[in-house]
Structure 1
Amino acid sequence: MTKLTEAQISDKLANLEGWELNDNALETTFEFQNFKEAFTLMTRIAFECEAQNHHPDWSNVYNKLNIRLNTHDAGGVTEKDFKLAETIEALVSTNPE
């Protein structure tokens, strides 16, 4: 995977509401109603991460999930990160409340 330029990343971020470029990675935070909802979504995301063989740096505190994506081998953000971010967004948007 080839590292994207800042201009390419900015263009792609226009289609990912709530995500931003921070210190050479894509980042976002989701807030849920409770811990169970946050952890349930983390589990669903984990299966997709395995399927894509791409794993986020993430943390969970009670109802908040912080996600950071970059491609370590490429030294920055690649198409792989955007693909996973789009998958995550799809899972969040279909998450039953």
Structure 2
Amino acid sequence: MERLDEASISARLAGLPGWRREGDEIRRTVTAPDFRTAIAIVNDVAEQAEHLNHHPDIDIRWRELRLALTTHDAGGLTELDFRLAGRIDAIAADHGAAT
């Protein structure tokens, strides 16, 4: 997949509240209602990641999830990162998580 240019990255980020850019990654923190819900969110994200063959970095701290996306093969951000970010947002919302 082709790396996005700066204008495309800015435009895509504008449509994803809660996500921020740090270098060649986009990041978001999700706070689940409890630990079990946090793990359920991770499981649902894992299903989407497998489906897209695109895997985020996930750091689990009790009920807080820190997620980071980048496309290593492209050396930066691609459409795939933003597609998965949108799916992560939907999963978090379905589980009642806060940003």
Q: SS at the partner of 2:29?
A: strand
Count of residues paired in the alignment: 97
TM-score by length of 1: 0.94
CA–CA separation in structure 2 for the residues paired with 1:67 and 1:11: 20
Contact 2:32 2:95 in 1 (8 A): no
Identity of aligned residues (%): 38
CA distance in structure 2 between the aligned counterparts of 1:81 and 1:89, rounded to whole angstroms: 12
Q: Which 10-residue stretch deviates more, 87-96 or 55-64?
A: 87-96
Unaligned runs of 5+ in 2: none
Counterpart AA for 1:78? T
What secondary structure does 2:66 align onto?
Answer: strand
More deviation, 87-96/58-67? 87-96
Q: Give unmatched runs, 5+ long, in structure 1.
A: none
Question: 1:54 — aligned with what?
Answer: 54
Contact 2:29 2:67 (8 Å CA) reproduced: yes
Which of structure 1's runs of 4+ aligned residues deviate more than 3 A? none
Name the residue aligned to 2:13. Answer: 13
- TM-score, with normalisation over the residues of structure 2? 0.92
Pairing 1:65–2:62 present: no
